[in-house]
Amino acid sequence: MEGQDNADELYPIAVLIDELKHDDVLLRLNAIHRLSTIALALGPERTRDELIPFLDDSVEDEDEVLTALAEELGNFVEYVGGPEYAHVLLAPLENLAAIEEPLVRDKAVESLNKICEQLAERQVEEYFIPLTIRLSKADWFTSKISATGLYVTPYKKASASAQQTLRTQFGHLVHDETPMVRRQAANNLAKFIKEVPVSVVIDEMIPLFQHLASDDQDSVRLLTVEVLISIAEVIPKEQQPSHGVLLTALRSLFEDKSWRVRYMVADRFEKIAKAVNEEVVTRDLVPAFVKLLKDSEAEVRTAIASQIPGFCNLLDRETLLNEIMTSIEDLVSDPSQHVRAALGTQLSGLAPILGKEETISHLLPMFLQMLKDEFPDVRLHIISKLELVNDVIGIDLLSQSLLPAIVQLAEDKQWRVRLAIIEYIPLLAKQLGMKFFDEQLSSLCMGWLGDTVFSIREAATQNLKKLTEVFGVEWASRAIIPKVTTMSQQENYLYRMTTCFAVTILAPVITLDIIQNNILPMMDRLVSDPIPNIRFNVAKSYAVLIDTLRRLPAEGTLQQLEESGSTDAEPSPQGLELINEQIMPNLEKLQGDDDVDVRYFATIAAGGSTTAGAERMDTGQ
Amino acid sequence: RDRNAWEIEREEMKNRIAILEGETRTSKGLRTSLERHVKLLEIALKKEREKARILD
């Protein structure tokens, strides 16, 4: 008898009930996710007869668990015996689709649609469409919202008369009295339109669209922009003129009193322009575009600014230059920084459309003005997209007009402005190339190293490191290192100090050769500098160099080593030799210095390094 | 101030212990439930095999 008991206890549904009673939500969630095991153990027949009815009426749980259940049921077709029995899954999902929590409902609708794909036409008519209709006619609006999502998938499989019913019923949802339902109906109308033939769109969908487009809630009206786009995409372009209603609706959307609706229109402008025919574009959309560029709400202007290159691409150059350009030029001095920033990202996209001459005469002045913008994002966006302009007008012309602006900013009285432009230098260098940089910008970068403000000098050394990353080590040894060496011989001790900082920062991006041939001799000289400040900074730099040399392989730089992620590259024995023969003697000398700070930092550099070395050996063994 | 720091650390440790204990409880529950599922499938498999033998 004991075997019998045992089997009872292990009866699949009993196990499931047990697990669903657990206190821990995580465990209940897990039970739901493993529902397929239960179904598998039961076999398809008993799953249909016992498990599904059980789930149908006895599950009450947290939304999280119900969401999981809705998701699982979508994949359950194989466990109930294949598509011919899939309709038994509809009942529990129907319950879940009526629940208050939107997440659960959305999942249930998703699963229902998934199952519907696998149903046969007869099943769709017999089970699925009645379900859709039931939900559409429910008292509570949550069911109706779910129902709006259940029209598109069955429609394809339904017979002509059933399709008729579905359309009528959907019409009722569009005319529902709660805005929540109308919103979802508007959302789904756009998808629905793609499934029905053109004649039906014209006869039935356009009236629905008109109804929604004249809704008194702006949250409903703004969703009709998508509907309009899909209607316009479906109707052939040559037939569009005969549907004056669409145009009227479009015009009223452009001039809607709610800015959220206008924002939506602005945001989809390119899509709208692509869907309607050319006559409408030139006659209606161009004035509308200009008007949106001058909209009273900054959000709308931001949205329309992002459509500039896409829309202008569809126009001929005449219209673009005569009617739109001036409005775009006005945006450069827009009071909102977000509008200017959005314009900054898009403006360079106009260069290929305008061609060389127009870019020079129209775009460049705008660029130059935006480069001087006080908002950093605007400048950054302009600089980061220079490549596009470069391709059109060529590096020479670009540098002719751009360089004065950059130089002017680089020598600005305000140190914050100088700092801002330094941050963009690596980006500029990457886009404009090594040659341009060497000729025009390198002296600027070196000039910053001698700036009166510490932050500028610091940023300039960081900048050197980034430039080395962009242009490579060889370039660094040719362009940077000599300049740094000259600086170490300057009268003013602050320059010599900058040398120490530069060495510290550059250490990870240079090779062993450069350290041995250029850096160490220079440091040798600085060890006996008359100013204590320099001497203890030399000690600090030595600490960094020691650390670098310990890990540096004979070829390449430390940064390359870290990026490649390989740990097997052996540190070069030459590096250790350099530490012992060239650095350590100098550090010992500094440890005997008169100045207390110099002695301290020298001891740290020498002492700290020996313990670190010992540890490394320990772990190595 | 030291005492404060010490007490804060103590509280943090307690929290950590509580979290870890919760985790073990959950994984214990998870394990028993999975064990039961295995048994369940074992029984189902046995039954299927019997059926197959009878059919043979």
Mind spelling out the 3-state secondary structure of A281-337? HHHHHHHHHHHHHCCCCHHHHHHHHCCHHHHHCCCCHHHHHHHHHHHHHHHCCCCCH
Confirm whether A587 is domain-assigned. yes
Q: Band of the pLDDT at A3, cuts 50, 70, 90?
A: very low
Which of A2 and A297 is assigned the larger pLDDT? A297
Q: Band of the pLDDT at B16, cuts 50, 70, 90?
A: very high
Alpha carbons within 13 angstroms on the beta-carbon side of residue A598 total 21
Helical H segments across A386-527, by residue range: 386-410, 415-436, 442-448, 454-471, 473-475, 481-487, 493-506, 512-514, 520-527
Q: Band of the pLDDT at A610, cuts 50, 70, 90?
A: very low
Q: Taking residues A3-30, what's their average pLDDT? A: 72
Chain position carrying tokens 């970068």: A445
Query: What's at A327, amino acid-wise?
Result: S
SS3 per-residue string spanning A394-423: HHHHHHHHHHHHHHHHHCCCCHHHHHHHHH
The answer to whether the beta carbons of residues B20 and B26 sit under 8 Å apart is: no
Residue A325's nearest CA partner among A308, A342, A338, A345 is: A308
A203 pLDDT above the threshold of 90: no
Tokens coding A179: 């805005």
- Check if B25 contacts A (Cβ < 8 Å): yes
How does pLDDT run across A561-604, given as a tens digit for each residue? 555 555 555 566 667 777 777 777 777 777 777 888 888 888 87
SS3 A511: strand
**Do the Cβ atoms of A27 and B37 come within 8 Å?**
no
SS3 A13: helix
The answer to whether the beta carbons of residues A485 and A496 sit under 8 Å apart is: no
Q: Taking residues A68-84, what's their average pLDDT? A: 84
Tokens coding A165: 């019913």
Query: What's at A208, amino acid-wise?
Result: L
The answer to whether the beta carbons of residues A308 and A349 sit under 8 Å apart is: yes
Is the interface score ipTM higher than 0.85?
A: no
Residue A603's nearest CA partner among A548, A542, A550, A545 is: A542
Smallest Cβ distance to B30: which of A15, A27, A41?
A: A27
Q: Å from A612 to nearest chain B CA?
A: 30
By C-alpha distance, the chain A residue nearest B28 is A27
**Do the Cβ atoms of A26 and B26 come within 8 Å?**
yes
Q: What percent of chain A has pLDDT over 90?
A: 0
Confirm whether A274 is domain-assigned. no
Q: To 5 degrees, how large is the angle CA A142–CA A148–CA A149?
A: 105
The DSSP secondary-structure symbol of A543 reads H
The separation between CA A537 and the C-alpha centre of its own chain, rounded to angstroms, equals: 42
Q: To 5 degrees, how large is the angle CA B5–CA B9–CA B12?
A: 140
**Do the Cβ atoms of A34 and B26 come within 8 Å?**
no
Q: Kindly provide the b/e burial profile for residues A36-65, where b requires at least 16 CB atoms within 10 angstroms of the residue's own CB.
A: ebbbbbbeeeebbeebbebbeeebeeeebb
Q: Kindly provide the b/e burial profile for residues A418-431, where b requires at least 16 CB atoms within 10 angstroms of the residue's own CB.
A: bbbbbbbbbebbbb
Q: Taking residues A99-117, what's their average pLDDT? A: 86
SS3 A557: strand
The answer to whether the beta carbons of residues A572 and A512 sit under 8 Å apart is: yes
Look at the pTM and tell me if it is higher than 0.80: no
**Do the Cβ atoms of B33 and A12 come within 8 Å?**
no
Confirm whether A3 is domain-assigned. no
Contacts of B30 in chain A (CB under 8 A): 26-27, 30
Residue A181's nearest CA partner among A212, A227, A225 is: A212
Confirm whether A573 is domain-assigned. yes
Q: Could you please report the per-residue DSSP string of chain B? A: -HHHHHHHHHHHHHHHHHHHHHHHHHHHHHHHHHHHHHHHHHHHHHHHHHHHHHH-
Confirm whether A601 is domain-assigned. yes
By C-alpha distance, the chain B residue nearest A30 is B30
Residue A149's nearest CA partner among A109, A183, A178, A121 is: A109
By C-alpha distance, the chain B residue nearest A43 is B44
Other Cβ atoms within 10 Å of A335 Cβ, number: 8
Chain position carrying tokens 């769709």: A124
The answer to whether the beta carbons of residues A166 and A154 sit under 8 Å apart is: yes
Q: What percent of chain A has pLDDT over 70?
A: 90
Confirm whether A522 is domain-assigned. yes
A9 pLDDT above the threshold of 60: no
Q: Among A19, A35, A79, which would you mutate to test the B interface (most chain B Cβ atoms within 10 Å of its Cβ)?
A: A19
SS3 A243: coil
How does pLDDT run across A435-465, given as a tens digit for each residue? 777 777 777 777 887 778 888 888 888 888 8
By C-alpha distance, the chain B residue nearest A12 is B40
Q: Taking residues A162-176, what's their average pLDDT? A: 83
Listed in sequence order, the residues at least 6 apart from A613 whose beta carbon sits closer than 8 Å to its beta carbon are A550
Smallest Cβ distance to B40: which of A30, A37, A43?
A: A37
How does pLDDT run across A384-401, given as a tens digit for each residue? 777 777 777 777 777 777
A36 pLDDT above the threshold of 80: yes
Give me the helix-helix angle, A25-33 and A63-74, nearest 10°: 10
A101 pLDDT above the threshold of 80: yes
Chain position carrying tokens 């070395």: A613
Residue A115's nearest CA partner among A144, A94, A138 is: A94
Backbone angles phi, psi at A557, to 5 degrees: -115, 170
Which of A146 and A442 is assigned the larger pLDDT? A146
CATH of the domain at A527: 1.25.10.10
Q: To 5 degrees, how large is the angle CA A590–CA A593–CA A594?
A: 160
Which of A216 and A612 is assigned the larger pLDDT? A216
Q: What is the total count of domains within chain A?
A: 1
A618 pLDDT above the threshold of 70: no
- Report the alpha-carbon distance of residue A231 to residue A365 in Å, rounded: 41
- Report the alpha-carbon distance of residue A476 to residue A467 in Å, rounded: 8
The answer to whether the beta carbons of residues A135 and A146 sit under 8 Å apart is: yes
* pLDDT value of position A553: 67
Backbone angles phi, psi at A372, to 5 degrees: -95, 5
* pLDDT value of position A416: 76
* pLDDT value of position B14: 95
The answer to whether the beta carbons of residues A409 and A401 sit under 8 Å apart is: no
Q: Band of the pLDDT at B20, cuts 50, 70, 90?
A: very high
Chain position carrying tokens 């390449």: A556
Confirm whether A541 is domain-assigned. yes
Q: To 5 degrees, how large is the angle CA A454–CA A543–CA A530?
A: 60
**Do the Cβ atoms of A10 and B26 come within 8 Å?**
no
- Check if B46 contacts A (Cβ < 8 Å): no
- Report the alpha-carbon distance of residue A23 to residue A33 in Å, rounded: 17
- Report the alpha-carbon distance of residue A106 to residue A70 in Å, rounded: 9
**Do the Cβ atoms of B44 and A41 come within 8 Å?**
yes
Q: Å from B17 to nearest chain A CA?
A: 18
How does pLDDT run across A515-573, given as a tens digit for each residue? 777 777 777 777 777 888 888 888 888 888 777 777 766 666 666 655 555 555 556 66
The lowest-confidence range among A129-138, A225-234, A262-271, A378-387 is A378-387
Q: Taking residues A71-82, what's their average pLDDT? A: 83
- Check if A22 contacts B (Cβ < 8 Å): yes
**Do the Cβ atoms of B43 and A40 come within 8 Å?**
no
Whole-number mean pLDDT of chain A? 78
The lowest-confidence range among A125-129, B2-6, B24-28 is A125-129
- Report the alpha-carbon distance of residue A326 to residue A344 in Å, rounded: 16
Containing A356, the helix (H) or strand (E) segment is: helix A356-358
- Report the alpha-carbon distance of residue A603 to residue A590 in Å, rounded: 8
By C-alpha distance, the chain B residue nearest A20 is B33
Confirm whether A480 is domain-assigned. yes
How does pLDDT run across A455-491, given as a tens digit for each residue? 888 888 888 888 888 888 788 887 778 887 887 777 7
* pLDDT value of position A50: 81
Q: Residue length, chain A?
A: 621
- Check if B44 contacts A (Cβ < 8 Å): yes
- Report the alpha-carbon distance of residue A432 to residue A437 in Å, rounded: 7
The domain in which residue A586 lies consists of 472-609
How does pLDDT run across A486-511, given as a tens digit for each residue? 877 777 777 788 888 888 888 777 77
